[in-house]
Structures are given as structure tokens and as C-alpha cells.
Amino acid sequence: MPEGKATKTDSDREFLSQAGVGELLRGAILKMVEARSDDPIGFLADHFCNLASVSETGAQEQQHLNRALWHLRLAHHSQRSAFSNNVRVAYDLLNRAGGGGGGVRGGLYTQTLQCLCSEGGVPASTSAPLLRRLHCQDHEAVPYDIFRHGVLTCAVFSDYIRQAQRLYAEVCCPDEGPASQALCLAVLGTLKEALETSQGCDAIRYLEASAKISPYKLAQAIARAQTRGPGGDMDAKEFENAAAELFITRVKVVS
């Protein structure tokens, strides 16, 4: 084979490979064999039309999700009126993305919550237990009240985790390695007490309670812990997970 022709053939093969044409055709043929269609050309035409439709729908959903997230970033949850308005706009956008059938599709709802936690700086391993409590099935139509509860909880949780990280920094000396386990448990005990005595049962009340831990109480807890002597260490991730659990156990499960 002449060198120019061989080069073109290799280039064509590379293009087909990168485009995934082989997998598309193989999948289509397997579907046709499974269906035993009497009209193979018509079957293949319908198959590829459906694939194109699914791809276009996915792109539209992503656009609506991006716009919804943009609106949710406009106001902090502490600006309650503005935040609620933006949640409503985001909900309507995602509802239209799913066809406007009585609620946001569960899959889009879950993606929204995952993005909010990720953008809030919460590691996926830390947010996973919370998202399981807020989870709705992909096919479910999520009503506005559930959507708002999930969005607000994730926004507050992101702030709460940052507060927990600051608390760990209070008892940790970076030059000496991880913080004392006794000190960390004392701080976590004070945090737990604040959460348990908070008035109300919504996520914002827990954030407000954790933010109002007085320096005096914290100093008392640390002093008591120091009298117990060493008892091992606790790293930042362990502390973060323990603090997250205190919050998550108080979040109502979405059913």
C-alpha cells in the first residue's frame, strides 16, 4: 500500500476510535439482534434518533442546572428573603428542565445538592451521609418544600463544616502534628451540647447554635481535657467527620 494511503487509513481509524463509532455500532447491532427486527434499517434509524434525543435532553438539563446553581449562589442563606426567592427561581428552572411535570426530577435534585456541597468546600466523603438522608429517587417528582429543605440544609452544612474546621484549628498546633484526642473530644462535646440546646429543629438553628459557643465554655472544656493527660491524637479529617455526624443525625430524613 502506498505510504500516503496507509497514513490516511491510520488517520481514519484514529478518528473512528476517538469518536467511539465502533462502540455505537456494536451497541446498535446488539440491540437489533436482541429485538429480531424485521426492518433492520428502520430499527437502526429509530435507535440512533433516540440516542440523539437523549443526548440533546442531557445537554439541556445541564444548561438548566448551571443556571439554577448560578441563582443559588447569588445570596447567602442568611439573607433569607433573597435566598428564598432564588431557591424558587432555581426550582422553576429545574422543573422546566424535567418537562414541568409537577416537580423537579429526583436526579436533578440530587445533582443540585452534590454541587452545592462541593462548591461549599465540603469533601464528598463528608457530605455523602447527609446526601443519603436528603436523597430522592431519580424518577421521583420532588415538590418545592422538599427541594428548599435540601438546598438550605446543604448551604448551612457547608458553613457548619467550615466552623468545625476553625474549631479544630483552635486546638491544633501544626508544628506538633495532629491535635490531642482529649482536646478534640472536649470541643466536640461542647459542640454537641450547643446543638442539643438549640431552639427549633431546622438547619439554620444548628448553625446558629454552633456559632454561639462561648470562648469561656470552650476554654473550660479544653482545661478539663488537659487535666486528663494524653490519650492519642485526632487528625483534622476525623474531627470533621465527627462534627459532621453531630449535625447530620439532627437532619430529618426525606421520605
Each residue's pLDDT expressed in tens, for the chain with a length of 255 residues: 555 555 656 676 776 666 666 777 777 777 777 767 777 777 777 766 665 554 444 567 788 888 999 999 999 988 989 999 999 999 998 988 766 567 888 989 999 999 999 999 999 999 999 999 999 888 888 999 999 999 999 998 998 898 888 888 877 777 777 877 888 888 888 788 777 776 555 666 766 666 665 555 556 656 665 555 556 788 889 989 998 998 898 888 876
Give the span between the Cα atoms of 58 and 79, in whole angstroms: 33
CA distance to 73, 122, 158, per residue, from 130 (Å): 20, 11, 11
This prediction's pTM: 0.69
What is the residue extent of each domain of the chain?
Answer: 158-248
Distance between the two ends of the chain, CA-based, in angstroms? 66
DSSP codes, 179-238: EEHHHHHHHHHHHHHHHHT-SSSSHHHHHHHHHT--HHHHHHHHHHHHHT----EE-HHH
| Cα gap 125→238, rounded to integer Å | 11
CA 123/CA 125 separation, integer angstroms: 5
